[in-house]
Structure 1
C-alpha cells in the first residue's frame, strides 16, 4: 500500500453482501437502514468497493458484522473480505466480524483469521449482537484479539439499523453506551480499541473514555460532519487530535458526502491530515510516525 499516494484512509466500510448473494441483515433491518440513511446503492460487492476507493485514491477498512446468534442471519464470510484484500492490497484493509455469543468457536475464529488470513481487527455491534461490551462472556475474545495484536472496533451510540421499524426491529440501544467499553479498555490495555461513530446520546462519555485510556480511539463514521456535536469537534482539534479517525460508514454514508461536509469544519490545518490519514496509518501499523 502506497501511503503517499493515498488522500485518506476510511476506517469504517461495510461488506453487506456475499459473493454467493447472501446479505448480512434481514430484509426488515436492511430496509430500515436504507430508509434511515436515504442510501441508494446499498449493496456493493467487494470488487465494487475496491474500485470505488481506488478511483478516489483512498484505502478502506472493510468488515462485516456477525450477529447470527441474535438475529438468525449468517454474516458475509470474513474469508471473502480477507481474500478481497489479498486481491486488492492497494485499497482494502481486512477486518472481520465475530459473534461474542459463539464463545470458544469465536476465539478459534479470531486466531485463525489473524494467522491464516492476515485480518487486522474485529468489529463488534453491541446493539445488533445484543450484548453489553463489558459482559465477561466476551472477555476470551478480547484476550485473543489482544494476544494477536489486533484492533477491536465497537459500534457506539444510536444505530440506523432497525430505526423506524416497529419496535426498532427489536434492536435495543442500551448496549451501545461507550462507557461500557471503559472496563474493556482497562482490563485489556494492550488491545487497541476504536469507538465507532459520534456516540449520540453519549458523546461526552466517549470523549472521556478516549481521553483517559491511551488505547482508545474514536472514528467519525455514520454522521455527516455538519451534525457533529461541538464538543467532538473541539476535542478532535485539541486533546484527541492524534486519536480521531476518518470513517464514512460506506455504503450507508459515502466518503464523498462525508468529505464535502468535513471541509467546512473549523479544524486546524495541521489536524486535518491527522484525521484523514495519519492517525489511521499509525494505528494500523502502516507507519511508525
Structure 2
C-alpha cells in the first residue's frame, strides 16, 4: 500500500531545516508507508500576514528541500493574496519554474475576498492547484487569522470553475463542508485537521465519491499514524482506500 500525503509542513516554526532533521522526518514518513509527501511551507513562521520577502524565504526553503529529495517531496507555493497581483504573479512564476505543483493559502484573507482573483489568475496561468485552508466557524474561532468557512471556499470554486481547488481540513469542515462542495467537480477535500471522527470518511465518500478525497496528515501538527488509521479503519472499499491514500493525489498533481 502506497501513501501520498498532500498536506505536510516538514519545516515548521524553523524546525526541520537541519540535515539530521530532514533524514529523521523522511524516515518517519517511510516507516508509516508514506512514499511521497507534498510540502505546504512553514506557514506559521511569520504569522498570518507575511511580507513579500518573508513569503519568498518560506518558499525558498520548500524549493531547496524538494530539490534535495525530488523523488519524495513535491511542494506548493505559499502566498499572501493581500500583497496584490504583482507580488502574487511574481512569486508563483518563480515557484512554478522551480517545480511547484500548486498554491497554498492560509489565513491572510477569506477565500471569498476580491484579492482571490489574483490567485485564480496565477493558477490558470501556470496550471496549478489551489489548496485553501478551510474550517467551519461553528467549531473554531479562527485565532488571529481570517478564517474561510467551507462556503467561502465553495464560492471561490464557483467563481473559478476552471481552477482545481483543494478544500483543506475535512475534519474541521465537517459534514457541512462536504455538502458545501458536493456539486462542485473542481473541488477535492483533504483529510487533514482535527482528531478522527466516526463516519466522516464514509459520509464523504458517499457524497463526493472516493476520487475527490485526498489523504493529508498535517504533520507535524497531527500524527500521520492517526490520520492513516482514519482511512484504513473506515468502512470503504479497498479500491476507494487506495484512491484516497495515493492515486487521487498522484493524478491531481501529475506525479507517477
- The DSSP-based 3-state class of the residue aligned with 2:238 is coil
Hey, what does 1:198 align to over in structure 2? 170
1:47 pairs with one of 12, 18, 22: 22
Point out where structure 1 has 5 or more consecutive residues left out of the alignment: 1-5, 18-22, 25-42
Q: How many residues align?
A: 244
Shift of 1:59: 0.6
Shift of 1:242: 0.6
Paired with 1:110 and 1:231, the residues of 2 have a C-alpha distance of: 34
- The DSSP-based 3-state class of the residue aligned with 1:135 is coil
2:36 pairs with one of 34, 54, 59: 59
- The DSSP-based 3-state class of the residue aligned with 1:97 is strand
Could you say if the C-alpha distance between residues 191 and 93 of structure 1 is closer, same or farther in structure 2, counting changes exceeding 3 Å?
same
Paired with 2:117 and 2:166, the residues of 1 have a C-alpha distance of: 17
* 1:95 paired to 2:95: no
Provide the TM-score with structure 1 as the length reference: 0.74
* 1:145 paired to 2:123: yes
Could you say if the C-alpha distance between residues 241 and 168 of structure 1 is closer, same or farther in structure 2, counting changes exceeding 3 Å?
closer
Could you say if the C-alpha distance between residues 133 and 66 of structure 1 is closer, same or farther in structure 2, counting changes exceeding 3 Å?
farther
1:120 pairs with one of 87, 101, 108: 101
Hey, what does 2:239 align to over in structure 1? 270
Could you say if the C-alpha distance between residues 263 and 69 of structure 1 is closer, same or farther in structure 2, counting changes exceeding 3 Å?
closer
CA contact (8 A) 2:201 2:234 kept: no
Could you say if the C-alpha distance between residues 239 and 158 of structure 1 is closer, same or farther in structure 2, counting changes exceeding 3 Å?
closer
How large is the Cα RMSD of the aligned pairs? 2.7
Paired with 2:48 and 2:204, the residues of 1 have a C-alpha distance of: 35
CA contact (8 A) 2:5 2:34 kept: no
Paired with 2:58 and 2:38, the residues of 1 have a C-alpha distance of: 16
Hey, what does 1:210 align to over in structure 2? 181
- The DSSP-based 3-state class of the residue aligned with 1:191 is coil
Q: Deviations over 1:22-67 (max 9, x none)?
A: x37xxxxxxxxxxxxxxxxxx3337243343344452101012278
Shift of 1:189: 1.7
CA contact (8 A) 2:96 2:126 kept: yes
CA contact (8 A) 2:7 2:192 kept: yes
Paired with 2:142 and 2:126, the residues of 1 have a C-alpha distance of: 36
CA contact (8 A) 1:158 1:199 kept: no
Shift of 1:268: 1.8
Query: How is 1:9-24 mapped onto 2 (pairs within 5 angstroms)?
Result: 9-17=4-12, 23=13
Could you say if the C-alpha distance between residues 262 and 69 of structure 1 is closer, same or farther in structure 2, counting changes exceeding 3 Å?
closer
Q: Deviations over 1:176-220 (max 9, x none)?
A: 2111122221222221100011254x5344213432111100000
Point out where structure 2 has 5 or more consecutive residues left out of the alignment: none
Shift of 1:235: 2.6
Paired with 1:95 and 1:51, the residues of 2 have a C-alpha distance of: 22
Could you say if the C-alpha distance between residues 144 and 67 of structure 1 is closer, same or farther in structure 2, counting changes exceeding 3 Å?
farther
Paired with 1:14 and 1:95, the residues of 2 have a C-alpha distance of: 11
Could you say if the C-alpha distance between residues 69 and 262 of structure 1 is closer, same or farther in structure 2, counting changes exceeding 3 Å?
closer
